[in-house]
Amino acid sequence: MRASSCPFFCVVIALATTWFVAHPCIGQTTDNTSLEETERWIADKISLYQQNEESVSYLGGLMYIFSTQPGMFGAQETRTARITITDVEYLSLVQYPEVVWLCFHIAPNGETESILSINGKIETITKHCVILKKSFDSDGMLERMRRALSRLIEFHGGPVKSLAEPY
């Protein structure tokens, strides 16, 4: 290499290195978030936008959504949904005047059923909705939630999915 081209070559390498350091997602096939970070982000967003008392936890490939809400005749209802993460087919958002419902649509695979327990009564489910504040929609959280849940499915060995509603 000629000595006169070395300074130019060194400047190019320095600029390229600086650019790649400033843009850490370049050269990676997926983002750098861990399973725990993804689980925490989903749980935090549901907690942040919750309309009723909702909390989320995980065990293996299962997501548990706990809620307490008014039931029939004013009695409190305690609900626990157990959703097999890899069985989530898509997410939808149902609009109401004061709230939105974030619905997990589930296609059972026959191994571990997704279930809902309401005050101890258990039933198999193919859809579960979480009631959230209207700002969930206006803040553009649906697409971000779809990406996070798709990443979670991928972490648990499921196929990458867009989780968009089928039309």
Tell me if 17 is assigned to some domain. no
Residue 121 has what pLDDT?
A: 94
Q: End-to-end CA distance of the chain: give it in Å, rounded.
A: 60
Residue 13 has what pLDDT?
A: 34
Residue 122 has what pLDDT?
A: 95
Scanning the structure block, which residue is given the tokens 């157990």? 82
Tell me if 25 is assigned to some domain. no
Q: Indicate the Cα dihedral angle 92, 152, 130, 79, nearest 10°.
A: 140
Per the structure, the count of domains in the chain is: 1
Tell me if 162 is assigned to some domain. no
Residue 10 has what pLDDT?
A: 34
Tell me if 2 is assigned to some domain. no
Tell me if 139 is assigned to some domain. yes
Give average pLDDT by consecutive 10-residue segment, the chain, 167 residues.
Answer: 41 33 33 88 95 91 90 83 94 93 88 90 94 94 94 91 82
Tell me if 19 is assigned to some domain. no
What domain range includes position 40? 35-155
Token digits of residue 33 = 């978030």
CB neighbour class for 41 (10 Å; exposed up to 12, middle 13-18, buried from 19) = middle
CATH number of the domain to which 134 belongs: 2.30.29
Tell me if 57 is assigned to some domain. yes
